[in-house]
Amino acid sequence: MIKKFSHKTIDKKVYGLALESTKNYMIYAELWFLDIVSPDGYDLWILNDFEAIMPVPYQKKAGCKFVIQPPFCQQLGIFYKKSISINDFSALFSKLNQYKVRNYHFNEDNTQYFKNEMPVLFRTNQTLYLNKDYSELYKKFNSNRKREINKLQRLADFKVTESFSIDAIFKIVNDNEDIFPHRNRLLLRKLLETADHRKKLYSFFIIPDYKDSPITCLILIKSCNRVISLLPLRAKDTFKGTISYLYDKLFKQFSNSPILFDFEGSEISGIYNFNKSFGAENITYASFTNFKWFEILKKIRNSNH
């Protein structure tokens, strides 16, 4: 039996314990996370006695309710304590298809369930296991990454700190306002504050000697044995290679540990190649939409410009 709950009616304690026990847990499905990134609300589809759960976030505009993948939330989909049957998976998929779905991303463990007749687009995430000596990880870096890192290691006019400051991060975020719409910046601030309060964040900053504020930040969120690169960002007009340097610093610190580093992407070729240059491996997840009229409207608008 599949039951539907709203974000207002779900038993949060029962849900939290059920999610923590799933084999494909991701922090994106935590209720506190969804409360922030999907402020209009979300539904929760539950299989039997929490054998599987599927969060479905939505937005409301002009009286229309539609599903959209929230910002800062790469994967959702179906989470289960143990693998479920293809029939149960298909039944939950059908529940999603009852909505107007602009886009919805299933998690990578769900990929095995998709059959040819299911209309999904497969996307690429990139990850790197850090359960090796740092020397083994470094061997996989390409020559450009090694060159950038070695160049910065020879400089002595900056320092790396792990102290966390929301205001310091937002100096860099605001310098990249073209990447972050105002609404997303508000969500990001609340997400970082809440995750920090829950002790789910790591942070690395590069601060040059000639400034009091950082020029590059690397903000990471913990999801069990996965560390997600939520926000690698540098200020504009800053010398290149600083993000490479912080990734290298991170890999040194967490080498020989049972951690999966998640680059969170990407379909953008420049970002994809950058991540690949550290030895990142591809992993597939599925994206679904049935919102065809939105795509048609977008094409019409684009043709009129």
Find the range with the poorest average confidence among 59-63, 152-156, 276-280. 152-156
CB 25 within 8 A of CB 224: yes
pTM: 0.91
**Topology (CATH level 3) of domain 127-283:** Aminopeptidase (3.40.630)
41-45, 113-117, 153-157, 211-215: which has the highest mean pLDDT? 41-45
32-51 average pLDDT score: 97
Distance CA(13)–CA(6), nearest Å, equals 15
Distance CA(27)–CA(70), nearest Å, equals 13
Task: Give the list of residues 6+ apart from residue 78 with CB closer than 8 angstroms, or none.
Answer: 52, 53, 54, 84, 89, 92, 106, 107, 110
* Helix, strand, coil percentages, rounded to 5, for the chain: 35, 30, 35
**281 by DSSP, 3-state: which?**
strand
**285 by DSSP, 3-state: which?**
strand
CB 228 within 8 A of CB 264: yes
**Topology (CATH level 3) of domain 2-119+290-303:** Aminopeptidase (3.40.630)
Q: What is the tens place of the pLDDT at every residue in 211-223?
A: 778 889 999 999 9
Across the chain, what does the average pLDDT equal? 91
Domain boundaries, the chain: 2-119+290-303, 127-283
Distance CA(147)–CA(240), nearest Å, equals 11
One DSSP character per residue, 180-222 reads S-HHHHHHHHHHHHHHHHTT-EEEEEEEETT-SS-SEEEEEEE
- Helix/strand/coil (H/E/C) assignment for every residue in 67-91: EECCCCCCCECCEECCCCCHHHHHH
**Amino acid 61: pLDDT:** 87
CB 237 within 8 A of CB 200: no
The pLDDT confidence band at residue 301, using thresholds 50, 70 and 90, is very low
